[in-house]
Structure 1
Amino acid sequence: MAVDMDEFWVFGYGSLMWNPGFRFEEKRTARAFGYRRSLCVRSWVHRGTERRPGLVLGLDYGGSCIGTAFRVAASDKADVIDYLRERELVTHVYKERMMPVQLADGRRVPALAYVIDRSHVQYAGALTATEAAATVAAAVGKSGPNTDYVLNTLSHLREMGIRDQWLEDVVAVLAAGGAASAQA
């Protein structure tokens, strides 16, 4: 299939997948290569505090990530970009990037995505499932407990037929109570 280079796509790997918040014309499962979904962003507001940060998703280097690509009408492009910048660039922990993604039907399209800035103070780095679970279990922010965010994320991914083994491992540690012992 030919790709129209004038098409505008947005790649979501976390809450954008089930709560995009913008108008789109088409929605497809897609894979980004060279990046993985990771609980690598320290949340100081919504799922934690600066004193006891939580963790939220970022698109970090390495591996690949199955997510959702949204095709946006040309007439909506500017509004969608403005909306996404307001939503994703609040503390500038993410970098806005155009990257190739492969749609489920095999087409490769350029898509706007938000990638973690590894030099940002909120970047948590590569954590083990036990380390991530300990952080998540202890954090609460203005949007509620960090555990709710992680469980909701995994639930949505499962509903969409997307497996994320590392996130499943984090939830297994949380469920086993291993996060509490990891904090001690």
Structure 2
Amino acid sequence: MGDFWVFGYGSLIWRPGFAHTRTERARLNGYHRSLCVHSHVHRGTPERPGLVLGLDRGGSCVGLAFNVPGDLREEVLAYLRERELVTNVYLERVLPIRLASGDGVPAVCYVVDRNHRQYAGSLGEGEAARIVHGAVGQSGANEDYVLSAVEHLEALGIRDHWMEKVARLVREPSSSLV
């Protein structure tokens, strides 16, 4: 089989962890980046879950697409499945994306399973910030995860107004978040 594309919208953008020959800005239509997954391990606990990113239905999402050589297909897919499908809150899909060059290509994407118990649903900025505030898991504070995600997106020139608003609320928590 030939080369294939992987679409990254969150940590895959700044830490893909797999070999690829090209990276290009891309847009996925029909899904948006959202803090819609309850984290019970890495950024929270079962008693005090945090939130991590998922691709949820509706809108569009700008991220990065990674071109992977066909001879690495099995290796890269095994790595991605181990990384992304630990609790099966994400579903592996091949969806059409639009590269910055204008080309439309199919890409491996990981979208949230709305029927999974970890799906947090569609949250407003304030509610998301309230859940994130104070949540801590094995990988650290949930606030650090959100702020880092926004910093990485901004460094790449990717604007996500919803995430930026959540980050502002996390940085300057009011008494209503505590």
Counterpart for residue 78 of structure 2: 82
Moved >4 Å (runs of 4+): none
How far residue 6 of structure 1 moved from its aligned partner, in angstroms, is 3.7
Counterpart for residue 92 of structure 1: 88
2:162 alignment partner AA: W
Give 2:28's match in structure 1, choosing from 19, 32, 36: 32
Structure 2 length as normaliser, TM-score? 0.97
CA deviation vs aligned residue, 1:113-138 (integer Å, no higher than 9, x gap): 00000000000000010000000012
How far residue 173 of structure 1 moved from its aligned partner, in angstroms, is 1.3
Give 2:173's match in structure 1, choosing from 150, 155, 177: 177
Structure 1 length as normaliser, TM-score? 0.94
2:147 is the counterpart of 1:151: yes
2:55 is the counterpart of 1:55: no
Give the aligned CA root-mean-square deviation in angstroms. Answer: 1.1
For 2:12 and 2:124, the matched residues in 1 are separated by 25
How far residue 88 of structure 1 moved from its aligned partner, in angstroms, is 0.2
- Taking the TM superposition and a 5 Å limit, the aligned residue runs for 1:59-78 are 59-78=55-74
Counterpart for residue 110 of structure 2: 114
**Structure 2 SS opposite 1:181:** coil
For 2:2 and 2:102, the matched residues in 1 are separated by 18
For 2:144 and 2:171, the matched residues in 1 are separated by 12
- Judge conservation of contact 2:2–2:69 (CA < 8 Å) in 1: no
Total equivalences in the alignment: 178
For 2:3 and 2:104, the matched residues in 1 are separated by 12
How far residue 145 of structure 1 moved from its aligned partner, in angstroms, is 0.4
Q: Which moved more, 1:25-34 or 1:5-14?
A: 5-14
How far residue 182 of structure 1 moved from its aligned partner, in angstroms, is 3.3
How far residue 181 of structure 1 moved from its aligned partner, in angstroms, is 1.3
Name stretches of at least 5 consecutive residues in structure 1 with no aligned partner. Answer: none
For 2:62 and 2:117, the matched residues in 1 are separated by 27
For 1:168 and 1:101, the matched residues in 2 are separated by 24
Counterpart for residue 128 of structure 1: 124
